[in-house]
Each structure stands twice: as structure tokens, then as C-alpha cells.
Structure 1
């Protein structure tokens, strides 16, 4: 998912071995928790000999390990150090946390901060309410921009032509019977978000899950993240969520935006 990678075949500074090593790490997932050497090669589209070198090096560095009985490879907790270093170094998260905490206290619902990466939004901060939440989205989870409140909030804060151009490159696939997949319908959602100051998702990614989201803007007025609050359909009607949650979400995003501008 995302834009095609730049052509690096003639880039003398580009390290293809590093690219392959990172591809091996990214190949492991919930669907591929463990892999054989042949499966690693297939998942990363590299030769078996290259896969063997990558796996050997990553194993020596402590990022993967081989099960002594199954002989299948899996990631180790050391991989989390890379992601944690990003979270620890991201000033936006430090700034946002008090605002998210207050938003959770005010609404009684789970609140989140997501940042863009290609065609997806990545969870980087989260305050969970004491109430039941139908979908668990831990830090690092990724969701598509086009059909989520936070993604639409981010897109709505871009210049309309830029947002439209990005949408046209995305894979607009169906997740639930409610998922909007036509460009016209999604752009209508973005237009509403621009007018209202917030975006919505009404069970388009997960059944039972609604979100109200607003963009976080940097010093240049461009979006850098989005705040969203979860409104389970078991507790909220769509209209009630808009009326009662949207003002608080907008205020939260505005507070974070004003705070980070003083730091940039």
C-alpha cells in the first residue's frame, strides 16, 4: 500500500543490502508470525541466498531468532527498540498527551493521536477509557486514510487538489458494507470536514466503530497528525456523537496545534 518506491537502480548512495534487511523485518506480521528461510525469500521477493544472509545478520544482531524445534524464524522484542526510539523522540507526542488525557476525561471515551505514513495513519498515542472499546488498536497500528476519521481529517487539511491527487493513487477497497469507495463520495466527506472542522468514520473500517476526528496543524498550516475519539455504536448514535464529541475533539486538536507551533 502507498506510492511506488522511487527508482534506486542508478542511485550510487542507496544501500540495497540495508533495504533487503528492512524488508525482511517488515515481512513478519500477524499473518506471518514465523517463517522458514524459503518463506522469507518469497515474502520479500529476494533470492534464498540473499534471504539467508539477511536472516543470519539479523539473528546475530538479536532482531530475529530461530525456534529450536520448528526451525522457523520470528522477531524478537529487540525490534521494538526502533519503534520506541521514534516515539521517545517525537515532540508532538509529548505535547499531545496532556490534551488527549483531558479529552478522554471530558468525553469518557478512548482518544488517539495518529500520524501519516504514505496512504495510512499510524497510532502514536492513545488514552483508553474504562468503558468497553470494540476494537483494540495498540500503538503502531495502521489504518487506511480514505475510510477513517483521522485519515479524512488529515486529508481535509491539505489543499483540495493535493488531497484529490493522493486519493486517486490509493487502493479504495471495501472493509465493511458501509465503506465508501467512490472518489466522489469520499471527496464529499472531505468537503464536509473542511466546512465543519472535523471528519467522521461511520463503521467503514470496523462494524460497531465510529470516530470523530480533527487535524493537527503545524507551523506552516499543513496537517501533521490527527486526533480522534472512538464512539462505539453501542453507546452513541451518529448524530449524538457529532453534536457532543466533535466540539471537544476540535478544541483538543486546536490546543495541540497551537502548542507545537511554538516549538517549531
Structure 2
């Protein structure tokens, strides 16, 4: 399935590795593509979400890809620190308690780190 990066946790993790100017080049219009009614509507809102993802080291998307689903994503990097892929875990909204969210974030970050290290071994 192909979805706009601005609507997915893995896409947001990849976008967060870019500068705001690079993101603005990808999304020159203020209005963003939407998958659901909960998708982020504006580039300004997306830039704030990406700033938070940069601070936290992972991205979150709630209901923007599928209603009642929460996603948590991180990026996979190569030996030069460049993004090569994104990974994400999706939960039903009702299962996304603070404890479960914390465990999922840890798991998705660890998966991204392991894939990054694996890719660097092969390079």
C-alpha cells in the first residue's frame, strides 16, 4: 500500500530527518494530502509534529492512516546516518494505553536500531 509520508508514522520518522526547508520543498502547498478525516491537514501542523518527532526520536500518527489506529515509527539509517527505510508498529486505539505505548515505542526504536546495524554490517 502506498500512502503519503505525512500521514504515516514511518513516513513522519523519515521526514523528521529532513530540514524544514526540505519538507517544504516536498510539500510546497500548505494543504496536505489526506487519507482520513484525522490526517494532518496543514504543512504548518506537520512541521510541528516533525519537530516533536526529532526531539523524541520517533514519530506518532493517530487515526491519520486508518480510523481508530495509532502508529509509532522510527527510521533505519545507513553508516553515513542517511535514512534508508522506516519501520512502524500499529495498535488499535483501545489497546494504546500509556504502558503499551511505551513498550511499543521501545520496540520500534530497537527494531530500527537493529536493522540499521545489520545494514551497516552488509555495507
TM range (shorter): 0.7 to 0.9
- State the match for 1:173 in structure 2: 33
- State the match for 2:87 in structure 1: 227
- What TM-score, normalized to structure 1? 0.43
Structure 1 contact 201–212 (Cα < 8 Å) conserved: yes
Structure 1 contact 212–246 (Cα < 8 Å) conserved: yes
Q: 1:250 aligns with which of 99, 109, 113?
A: 109
Local SS of the residue matching 1:192: helix
Q: Is the aligned partner of 1:150 residue 2:33?
A: no
In 1, the alpha carbon distance for the partners of 2:60 and 2:27 equals 17
Whose relative contact order is higher, 1 or 2, with alpha carbons under 8 Å and at least 6 apart?
A: 2
In 1, the alpha carbon distance for the partners of 2:52 and 2:94 equals 25
Structure 1 contact 158–223 (Cα < 8 Å) conserved: no
Moved over 6 A (4+): none
Local SS of the residue matching 1:176: coil
Q: 1:261 aligns with which of 117, 120, 123?
A: 120
Structure 2 contact 30–44 (Cα < 8 Å) conserved: no
- Say if 1:261 and 1:170 are closer, same or farther in 2 by CA, change over 3 A: farther
1:185-204 equivalences in 2 (<5 Å)? 185-204=45-64
CA-based RMSD: 1.9
Tell me the CA shift for residue 176 of structure 1.
2.3
Tell me the CA shift for residue 175 of structure 1.
2.7
Q: Is the aligned partner of 1:216 residue 2:76?
A: yes
Unaligned 5+ segments in structure 1 are 1-140
- Say if 1:220 and 1:161 are closer, same or farther in 2 by CA, change over 3 A: farther
Cα-to-partner distance string for 1:165-184 (whole Å, 9 max, x where unaligned): 21326972333221111111
Cα-to-partner distance string for 1:195-220 (whole Å, 9 max, x where unaligned): 10100110012102111000001122
Structure 1 contact 212–241 (Cα < 8 Å) conserved: no
* Number of residues of Structure 1 aligned to a counterpart in Structure 2: 123
